[in-house]
């Protein structure tokens, strides 16, 4: 079983109120091979919502209290993002997931790149809060940009048959 960002499976849960169309990822959910999650919604954020970015670091820094998640209006939403990350971890544990496929550049789900906290569109290396927590807890984390060929049959509970 894998954890997958719900927006990648077509759920309209992004900050803008839309989702993405990745038929192969939606199919994993439909076949019961993936559990869709939206950390922001699980943390209590509405859909749609103001854009958020991490200010002062990345998701590891947020988890360690050295950085904050702030909206484009200056509202601190750090607690929402940390709560959502913990909810996703609980779902991953409940489903014995060892792999997560998360939305790149998200302040929750980005695994390689996030926005720099200036709301200017500039990207920096780093990961979001949920990705950071899952990595710390030993899950393999991929994005929609780098998962192809890397998520093996064991992630789906297949025994090599």
Tally of CB atoms within 10 A around 117: 20
Alpha carbon of residue 83 to chain centroid: 13
Q: How many domains does the chain have?
A: 1
pLDDT of residue 157 exceeding 60, the answer is no
Residue 76 is given by DSSP the state B
Quote the longest CA-to-CA distance of the chain.
52
161 within some domain: no
Matching residue, tokens 């859909």: 47
How many angstroms separate the CA atoms of 33 and 85, rounded? 21
At residue 146, does pLDDT exceed 70? yes
C-alpha to C-alpha distance for 21 and 115, rounded to whole angstroms: 22
Q: Given CA atoms 127, 131, 134, 138 in this order, what sign does their dihedral have? A: negative
* Of the listed ranges 77-81, 98-102, 131-135, 144-148, the one predicted with least confidence: 144-148
- Full DSSP string of 16-71: TS-----HHHHHHHHTTSEEEE-HHHHTT--SS---EEEESS-HHHHHTTS-EEEE
Residue 143 covered by a domain: yes
User: Which pLDDT band holds residue 159 (cuts at 50, 70, 90)?
Assistant: very low
The verdict on residue 113 lying in a domain is: yes
- 73 belongs to a structural domain: yes
**pLDDT range class, residue 148, cuts 50, 70, 90:** confident
The residue range of the domain holding 121 is 2-156
In the chain, the percentage of residues whose pLDDT exceeds 70 is 92
User: Is the residue at 56 inside a domain?
Assistant: yes
What is the pTM for the complete model shown? 0.92
Residue 146: other Cβ atoms inside 10 A: 13
CB neighbour class for 50 (10 Å; exposed up to 12, middle 13-18, buried from 19): middle
């Amino acid at each position: 079983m894998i954890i997958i960002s719900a927006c990648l499976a077509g759920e309209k849960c992004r900050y803008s109120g839309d989702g993405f169309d990745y038929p192969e990822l939606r199919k994993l959910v439909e076949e019961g091979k993936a559990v869709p999650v939206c950390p922001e919604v699980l943390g209590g954020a509405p859909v749609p919502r103001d854009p958020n970015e991490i200010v002062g670091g990345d998701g590891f820094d947020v988890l360690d209290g050295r950085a904050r998640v702030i909206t484009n209006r200056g509202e601190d939403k750090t607690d929402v993002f940390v709560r959502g990350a913990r909810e996703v971890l609980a779902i991953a544990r409940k489903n014995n997931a060892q792999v997560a496929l998360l939305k790149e550049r998200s302040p929750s789900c980005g695994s390689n790149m996030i926005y720099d906290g200036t709301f200017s569109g500039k990207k920096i290396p780093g990961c979001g809060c949920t990705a950071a927590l899952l990595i710390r807890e030993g899950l393999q984390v991929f994005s929609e940009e780098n998962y192809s060929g890397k998520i093996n049959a064991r992630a789906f509970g297949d025994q090599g048959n």
